[in-house]
Amino acid sequence: MKIVIVNYGMGNIYSIQNALKFLGFASEYSDDPAKISNADKIILPGVGSYRKAMQNIISKDLKNPIKEAVEKKGNPILGICLGMQLLGISSTEDGYTKGLGLFDGIVERFDEKCNLKIPHIGYNEVMPASNSVLFQSIKENPDFYFVHSYRMMSPIENGITTCNYGENFIAAFEQNNVFGTQFHPEKSQTNGLILLKNFLSV
Amino acid sequence: MLSRNFRLQKVGNLDWIENNYNFENIAFSIDELIILNVNRNGRNLIEFSKTIAKLISNVFVPVAVGGGVTSMEYAKTLFMSGADKIIINSILTENPYLVKELVREYGSQSVIASIDYNIDKKEILAYRNNGINPINYNFTDYITYIQKLGVGEVYLNSIQKDGTGQGYSMDIIGPYLNLFKVPVILAGGAGNSKHLIEASHNPGVDAVATANLFNFIGQALPNSRRDMQEEGIHMANFLPLKKVKQPV
């Protein structure tokens, strides 16, 4: 199985690879469009600014290879944190930026009216979607590590895992071969390791 | 690696940790790992970053690294070694432009401001340069100042209590906790689970840290975690490690 972690210059390059290695899977960190479109599994990581991330993806010519692999070949993709947000339609971070459009969700800043500390940092419980593939064999309301100031909302109801931080937002989604987690599975101890393993078993 | 029990005390290098502790056991009992380079006689960045990479290769919680961050390049090396966040102190006042640049480049969630505080002539003061030099700010103003720089978290360390195991200095820092709009990690002084529990009950405290070696011996960390949960403190529940090893 060829697992490619998309390298577009955003985020912690080692932790995901270390986690996969711990689970016994080799992976490659690459910005090669051909490798990405031929990958059996794609992981889109990311920490940082949405606008800059999309600029990097476009300037490295990675947008079409990702979309081709996911939409035409049906290969599974997992977006993590900013990577999940990029799978959506758009974000209002640093002005309006269009995402990859693989999932019907839009990203906006947490509602300041909730009067909670932003960024939302730390472990929080999530409510897994019913019949979730990602959360298979993970107990009810598991905790995962979050660190973000923007969150995704979606009109879609199926396959949505939610978390509450002043308001309900999307903690994870799964729709056919498109998966995303707002939290960091590679930073969520055993819970996250099992989730990654579930994704690799899709 | 240094133990901070009863003053700074050298205990051994990385191999020492591996031989004396079940680090995997430690790593699976915590929510976050903080690694501070407290070397006062010049810091070797290359050596330090290698140590980090080795130490955290099987650690799957967020890792914050600090000590001697004085340039973008230095920070980059730490991030490239696997740090998720960097902890800064002296540059908060010595080079605020660098702080803003770090926040712009890596995001506020990746930059933690460390405040080493102590009481000097009945007045609370923040210190820089490994706790040596006082910062000439009124403490309240300093708290406002560092938050304006855009840092995403604050690591509050009591110089007086650090390494004593006598408990956090809540009497001193308590009145200032409501001034923080970003999450607060309380450090310096924890010696047992009671200390961790007491501090966690304070609504101004978002996380508690311990560097006390006694807390790492045997089952002390997993036990503290259990004690905290029994006291009604919300702690993340993790599945047993052996479940990860099983086939799906």
Catalytic residue at B141?
A: no
Structure-derived torsion over alpha carbons of residues A88, A5, B31, B118, reported in degrees to the nearest 10:
-90
Distance of CA B41 to the CA centre of its chain: 21
Where do the structural domains in chain B lie, given as residue ranges? Answer: 2-245
Distance of CA B91 to the CA centre of its chain: 17
Tell me which H or E stretch contains B242. Answer: helix B241-245
| CA atoms within a 13 Å half-sphere pointing along the CA-CB vector of B51 | 18
Whether the upstream peptide bond of residue A119 has omega within 30° of 0, thus cis, is: yes
pLDDT tens readout for residues B89-133: 999 999 999 999 999 888 888 999 999 999 998 999 999 998 899
Q: How confident is the model at residue A24 (pLDDT cuts 50, 70, 90)?
A: very high
| CATH T-level fold of B2-245 | TIM Barrel (3.20.20)
pLDDT tens readout for residues A151-192: 999 999 999 999 999 999 999 999 999 999 999 999 999 999
Q: To the nearest whole angstrom, how far is the Cα of B158 from the nearest Cα of chain A?
A: 23
Q: Average pLDDT, stretch A97-110?
A: 97
Q: Is B242 in CB contact (< 8 Å) with chain A?
A: no
Q: What is d(CA A162, CA A140) in angstroms, rounded to the nearest whole number?
A: 13
Query: Does position A196 have pLDDT exceeding 70, yes or no?
Result: yes
A3-200 is a CATH 3.10.105.10 domain: no
Q: What is d(CA B244, CA A116) in angstroms, rounded to the nearest whole number?
A: 34
In the block, tokens 């993340």 appear at B236
Q: Average pLDDT, stretch B239-246?
A: 79
pLDDT tens readout for residues A39-53: 999 999 987 789 999
Q: Find the CB nearest A190 among B28, B206, B235.
A: B28
Q: A interface mutation test: which of B25, B52, B234, B239 has the most A CBs within 10 A? A: B239
Subunit contact B107:A49, Cβ cutoff 8 A: yes
Q: To the nearest whole angstrom, how far is the Cα of B117 from the nearest Cα of chain A?
A: 23
Neighboring chain B residues of A189 at a CB cutoff of 8 Å: 28, 60-61, 236, 238
Please determine, for the modelled complex, whether the ipTM score is greater than 0.90.
Answer: no
| Burial B31-57, CB ≥16 within 10 A → b, else e | bbbbbbbebeeeeebeebbebbeebbe
| CA atoms within a 13 Å half-sphere pointing along the CA-CB vector of B97 | 0
Q: Is B179 in CB contact (< 8 Å) with chain A?
A: no
Positive or negative, the CA dihedral A184, A185, A187, A188 is positive
Q: B interface mutation test: which of A123, A125, A146 has the most B CBs within 10 A? A: A123
Nearest CA in chain B to A24: B245
- The structure tokens listed for B195 are 């200390």
Q: To the nearest whole angstrom, how far is the Cα of B245 from the nearest Cα of chain A?
A: 7
Where do the structural domains in chain A lie, given as residue ranges? Answer: 3-200
Subunit contact A119:B28, Cβ cutoff 8 A: no
At B230 the three-state DSSP class reads helix
Subunit contact B239:A22, Cβ cutoff 8 A: no
User: DSSP secondary structure string, B130-150?
Assistant: TTTEEP-S-HHHHHHHHHHTT
